[in-house]
Amino acid sequence: MVRHTLGVFVLVLGIAVATPGQTSADLGAKYRQITSYKVRPDTVMTPRYAQGGQVCEMIVEKRAKTDKDIIFGSSFAEKEWKGVVDELVPPSERGKDVTELLNTTVDGGFITADYTYENVRIRVQGVTRPKPGPAVLITITWRKRTCA
């Protein structure tokens, strides 16, 4: 019995040693690499770019895991997401506010509000259950730039 257990242990150890860890090159060969920016300690912005290299879209989201905690149901309070948006796309860059009166839609358990300006559209998405809550995801899209 001891010989059998020792044999299984050696086999498992051999497989573990022979299996290399994933490297940056391994992941790069399998997946497309993207770049994100930490705009707050718990907030990440991931840009997409137009053909000429200018930003055409930004996705802003809270990190569910920070250096210290795991935050379940992480979301933005209104003041918080507006502050991040003002930093990323100041009002002077947005152009004139042309948001329609009825800019919010509810679909199932999700709520979406679109704020439209001459140069950008800011889409704020959240959940409605158990009650309408804070923003979960913010998408900033430049209206006159097409993403590559």
Q: Please say if the pLDDT value at position 2 is more than 80.
A: no
Summarize the confidence of residues 127-133 as an average pLDDT.
71
Please state, in angstroms and rounded to a whole number, the distance separating the CA atoms of residues 86 and 80: 10
Please state, in angstroms and rounded to a whole number, the distance separating the CA atoms of residues 103 and 115: 7
The candidate with the shortest Cα–Cα distance to 69, out of 42, 46, 44, is 42
* Token pair belonging to 43: 């907030």
Structural domains for the chain:
35-142 (3.30.160)
Residue 127 has a pLDDT of 85
Residue 92 has a pLDDT of 95
Residue 73 has a pLDDT of 65
Q: Would you call 120 helix, strand, or coil by DSSP?
A: strand
pLDDT for 7-39, tens place per residue? 555 555 555 445 567 898 998 899 988 999 999
pLDDT for 41-87, tens place per residue? 889 999 999 999 999 999 999 877 667 777 666 788 889 999 999 99
pLDDT for 88-98, tens place per residue? 999 999 999 99
